[in-house]
Structure 1
């Protein structure tokens, strides 16, 4: 059922390329200069074909939007914040390191976004490569699965806030709202969900800190750091409770509605 990461990466590039739609329009209107390569080399039923320099420009312009798409249009934000809060709750400072947290967050994001990216690949990228869809039509089709994913995770209150700030008509719904309103509402909802999960993670470790601090004070060990003494108990609790299995499983399940 699952495909390799190659189709997902190409589907992500197609999504990012939607932000560069203004470049082709400018290229079509630009006058030809003698002695230079043409910007537009032909048109067909599948869309306009551009020269290699323009295609290279479009590719790198789309590539520059990939980090923003990964951060703001997927579940990466929630996952990386929860894992970072877990590290702070454990008090391990640099374990696991940032590289491990980001890498785990990326692969868990690919796992969560797999069905959505498969739809983008099947409904937008494949018809575009076969010439049955133009670039503009493929970009519009690629937005639909991403919009559906974000709508499932966006709170109505967050959407209402940005809809009011954008002064959208009263009849505008989340399904018909532009992406410039939906994306910040989705990001705000993800931040709220991440901090709610982080609060639940902190509670058992905070109890251990309180107990250890009380015991050390009652014994008169003022010079001994409570953080140092509580750390092995936190690790033991997390391992005995199979914490990684529970946490990662709960994170993945939180995106299923």
Structure 2
């Protein structure tokens, strides 16, 4: 197109005319085809509440944000993650491995094993608390009470054969001896469960270290008798540890025993 004719092409102006859209944002969106007639409004302004319902909604939102911020601690301390992560770290130390596998990998393995073990508990929480609350059948307080029950049952099931930790914290608070799970307060059950998980994890760690310590002692005494004092025993014992661990299917045995230690009480 010649340069002198380019100026003859009219360019439409994009200035909106008054009255093209209905008044208000809701009316403007409803006039556009393909969009829903009602879009929820998210108001981030700070103002005084107009009624009690807005106050209750703000408190519920604050409670939800608090729970989300504490979710990592809940996952670590109220599930099987604590025991599994400690045992996996003991395995790494017993094999004299410094960088392999990385800590992120071990935490990932512990997370998915925890998800596998805790799936029935999470399913009960969703069916009895989360879904009814989302459907408007119960409020946040009722949902919390319902979500608390599966976790309490899981924690108590791990200590029902050895309730020493529960008895310890009950005596420290001056409470009477409980006759059932309902008599144990949650603030007593949680620290008792954490202490029980630490105790069990360290017992497993002792059993893991025994065969590898024997290998270290045999290698160290052999090198000492041969006069090879300058050679670090770890360089010789680590391959033997790995050979023993692979031959007995160490990862499979540890995973199976960890899962069965929970399943025998929760099933």
Q: TM-score range by the shorter chain?
A: 0.7 to 0.9
Query: Where in structure 2 are there 5+ consecutive unaligned residues?
Result: 1-45
Contact (CA 8 Å) 2:219, 2:237: kept in 1 or not? yes
1:199 equivalent to 2:210? Answer no
SS of residue in 2 equivalent to 1:96: coil
1:35-184 correspondence to structure 2 within 5 Å: 36-38=47-49, 42=53, 50=57, 56-154=61-159, 155-171=162-178, 173-184=180-191
Cα distance in 1, alignment partners of residues 71 and 176 from structure 2:
31
Cα distance in 2, alignment partners of residues 40 and 117 from structure 1:
35
Go from structure 1 to structure 2 and tell me whether the alpha carbon gap of 1:208 and 1:130 turns closer, same or farther (over 3 Å shift).
Answer: same
Cα distance in 2, alignment partners of residues 171 and 69 from structure 1:
25
Q: 1:229 aligns with which of 219, 223, 236?
A: 236
Cα distance in 2, alignment partners of residues 219 and 39 from structure 1:
86
Q: 1:217 aligns with which of 205, 219, 224?
A: 224
What is the deviation of 1:36? 1.3
SS of residue in 1 equivalent to 2:184: coil
Contact (CA 8 Å) 2:60, 2:140: kept in 1 or not? no
TM-score, normalised with respect to structure 2: 0.76
Contact (CA 8 Å) 2:87, 2:204: kept in 1 or not? yes
Go from structure 1 to structure 2 and tell me whether the alpha carbon gap of 1:241 and 1:227 turns closer, same or farther (over 3 Å shift).
Answer: same
CA RMSD of the aligned region, Å? Answer: 1.9
Deviations 1:27-67 (A, max 9, x none): xxxxxxxx814275639xxxx8615xx55533321112112
Deviations 1:178-223 (A, max 9, x none): 1110000000100111011111111111111111111111111111
Contact (CA 8 Å) 2:178, 2:184: kept in 1 or not? no
TM-score, normalised with respect to structure 1: 0.79
Higher Cα radius of gyration: 2
Contact (CA 8 Å) 1:39, 1:50: kept in 2 or not? no
Query: Where in structure 1 are there 5+ consecutive unaligned residues?
Result: 1-34
Contact (CA 8 Å) 1:40, 1:50: kept in 2 or not? no
The number of aligned residues is: 217
